[in-house]
């Protein structure tokens, strides 16, 4: 990636957990301050819970953090709609109700970051609302680069960094172990029905995360249905597994005024844990780009009928999380990452298998 900037990318391969972060020539920097903005008002709703969603600056990137109680202790985790399951450093988890097993759990992400630990069960809480039963999680004993890898993002989880792991809230299964899945589905009552991410935009230092979908908080969203995964496959608790890449998005790319891609619809994943957008042009029937990212002056458009027309004009200098678009992806789906979440509020319906989009609220 350009000029030593590190970024998150993802490989969507069957049975392989998603990429978390890719370090290039520089190490992950510590969190840096942002322009002070008025904090969003957190509404009250008896059927939904809204909590703060910090927008963290880590090195040159922006990432979303969500605080969860894990076995009675609060931990801030990287919010990742592109992976499934709560994976937390053992040192950051509490002890209340924690059931550590001897079942090994090793997850290797596409950037060669590897979480090594065991399967555990623990109560999980969001804003004081505790899961209706203990949830299967990965308790991480070691974060390292996979054997043989030259680099990875292990330092993202070092002391002094904001994150103590990740919380994967995908509606799909990302590993063969369907015992570890989105823990928020185990929140009681309507709180586990789905969630809404509102970042507040690229300049925001804090957005909101709402657990629990209601007619009131879903009004104004263009909502589309996902296809079910497999033959009615479910997670171990009975929660339905959905194909979160089944929505078909059309793409157009122009460089120096020349249109190089005007694609038919292609499978797309909406991933808050990816720092940028990642496009596999040949998969869409387009050319193989000889550049990694679109240069300044380029234009990019993604269209999902009934939901959004998302346009980006690449400026100089290119800004990660805003207008940096990778066009050398080898993923087997297109990936719209955090830049889209800075342009749109996004809704994920766990119960009914739907994703929705609305203008920033």
C-alpha 263/C-alpha 154 separation (Å) is 36
Q: Is residue 228 part of a domain?
A: no
Helices and strands, number each (H, E), in the chain: 2, 25
Q: Is residue 52 part of a domain?
A: yes
159: burial class by Cβ within 10 Å (0-12, 13-18, 19+)? exposed
Residues in the chain: 361
The candidate with the shortest Cα–Cα distance to 198, out of 43, 358, 84, 8, is: 358
Q: Is residue 222 part of a domain?
A: no
C-alpha 102/C-alpha 299 separation (Å) is 51
Q: What is the mean pLDDT of the chain?
A: 88
Strands (E), 5-123: 49-58, 61-70, 73-80, 84-89, 99-108, 113-122
- Tens of pLDDT along the chain (361 residues)? 222 223 333 444 333 233 333 432 223 333 333 344 556 667 678 899 999 999 999 888 899 999 999 999 999 999 999 999 999 999 999 999 999 999 999 988 767 889 999 999 999 999 999 999 999 999 999 999 999 999 988 888 888 889 999 999 999 987 767 789 999 999 999 999 999 999 999 999 999 999 999 999 999 999 999 999 876 688 877 889 999 999 999 999 999 999 999 999 999 999 999 999 999 999 999 999 999 999 999 999 999 999 999 999 999 999 999 999 999 999 999 999 999 999 999 999 999 999 999 999 8
Cα torsion angle, 123, 126, 127, 132, sign: negative
Cβ atoms within 10 Å of 95's Cβ, excluding its own:
10
Residues 193 and 264 in one domain: no
Residues 291 and 191 in one domain: no
Nearest 10 degrees: Cα torsion 218, 52, 89, 236: -20
Query: Which CA distances in Å does 82 have to 4, 8, 72, 75?
Result: 25, 11, 26, 20
Residues 172 and 27 in one domain: yes
Host H or E run for residue 218: helix 215-218
Structural domain span for residue 348: 248-359
Residues 28 and 126 in one domain: yes
Q: Is the peptide bond before 335 cis (omega within 30 degrees of 0)?
A: no
Residue 211, helix vs strand vs coil: strand
Residues 154 and 252 in one domain: no
* Tens-digit pLDDT profile for residues 315-341: 999 999 999 999 999 999 999 999 999
Q: Is residue 223 part of a domain?
A: no
Residues 331 and 209 in one domain: no
CB 5 within 8 A of CB 58: no
């Amino acid at each position: 990636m350009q000029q030593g900037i590190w970024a998150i990318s993802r490989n969507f391969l069957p049975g392989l957990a998603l990429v978390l972060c890719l370090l290039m020539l520089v190490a992950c920097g510590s969190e840096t301050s942002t322009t002070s903005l008025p904090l969003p008002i957190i509404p009250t709703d008896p059927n939904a819970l809204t909590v703060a969603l910090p927008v963290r600056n880590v090195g040159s990137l922006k990432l979303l953090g969500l605080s969860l109680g894990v076995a009675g202790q609060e931990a801030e985790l990287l919010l990742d709609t592109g992976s499934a399951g709560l994976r937390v450093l053992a040192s950051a988890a509490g002890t209340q109700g924690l059931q550590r097993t001897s079942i090994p759990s090793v997850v290797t992400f596409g950037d060669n970051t590897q979480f090594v630990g065991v399967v555990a069960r623990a109560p999980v809480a969001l804003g004081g609302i505790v899961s209706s039963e203990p949830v299967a999680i990965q308790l991480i004993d070691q974060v390292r680069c996979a054997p043989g890898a030259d680099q990875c993002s292990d330092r993202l989880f070092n002391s002094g960094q904001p994150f103590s792991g990740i919380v994967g809230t995908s509606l799909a299964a990302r590993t063969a172990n369907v015992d570890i899945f989105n823990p928020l589905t185990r929140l009681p009552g309507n709180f586990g029905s789905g969630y809404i991410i509102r970042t507040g935009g690229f300049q925001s230092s804090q957005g909101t995360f709402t657990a629990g979908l209601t007619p009131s908080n879903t009004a104004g969203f263009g909502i589309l249905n996902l296809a079910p995964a497999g033959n009615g496959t479910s997670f171990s608790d009975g929660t339905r597994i959905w194909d979160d890449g089944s929505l078909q998005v059309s793409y157009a790319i122009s460089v120096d005024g020349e249109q190089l891609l005007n694609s038919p619809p292609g499978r797309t994943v909406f991933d808050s844990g990816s720092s940028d957008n990642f496009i596999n042009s040949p998969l869409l029937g387009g050319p193989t780009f000889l550049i990694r990212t679109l240069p300044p002056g380029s234009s990019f458009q993604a269209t999902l009928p009934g939901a959004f027309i998302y346009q980006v004009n690449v400026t100089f200098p290119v800004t990660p999380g805003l207008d940096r678009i990778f066009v050398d992806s080898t993923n087997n789906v297109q990936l719209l990452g955090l830049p889209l979440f800075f342009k749109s509020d996004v809704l994920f319906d766990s119960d009914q298998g739907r994703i929705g989009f609305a203008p920033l609220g």
